[in-house]
Every structure is written in C-alpha cells, then in structure tokens.
Amino acid sequence: MEGTKYDLIEKDNRASFEMDCEHKLVTEVERGSCTMEYESVIGQGRVEMLSDDEKYNALYIFKK
C-alpha cells in the first residue's frame, strides 16, 4: 500500500466519479445534425481503505 495514489488519498480522501453507458447516436439527416443519447451517473464521497473481508461483503451486497 504505497505509491502516488495512496499518498494523494492520505492527503485528501475526497473523490468523485462519472460513468456512462447505453450510448446511441441520434442523427437528423434533414437538419444535418447529430447528438448522443446516453445514461449516466455522477457521484462523490470519500475513499476509505477496506480489509479483504469488508471488500467481499460490499461486493456481495452489490451482487444482490
């Protein structure tokens, strides 16, 4: 547990993320335009180091 990422987390454990999926290109040939449709989620929180058992339990909850 060493390296730049761990050093940065130790200094400031705030974090944010963004994920998107279900991309679909939408075109309007007549108007000569296009755009993208997609679903996304944005979140923020704090990074916390977990033991292997805590990681397993958290992933198990997500699996349900």
DSSP class of residue 51 equals -
Q: How many domains in the chain?
A: 1
Tell me the residue range of the domain where 32 lies: 4-63
Element (H, E) at 60: helix 52-63
**How large a percentage of the chain has pLDDT more than 90?**
84
- pTM for the whole thing? 0.57
pLDDT tens readout for residues 22-52? 999 999 999 999 999 999 999 999 999 999 9
Q: DSSP letter string over 6-28?
A: HHHHHH--EEEEEEEEEEEEEEE
Greatest Cα-to-Cα distance within the chain, rounded to the nearest angstrom: 57
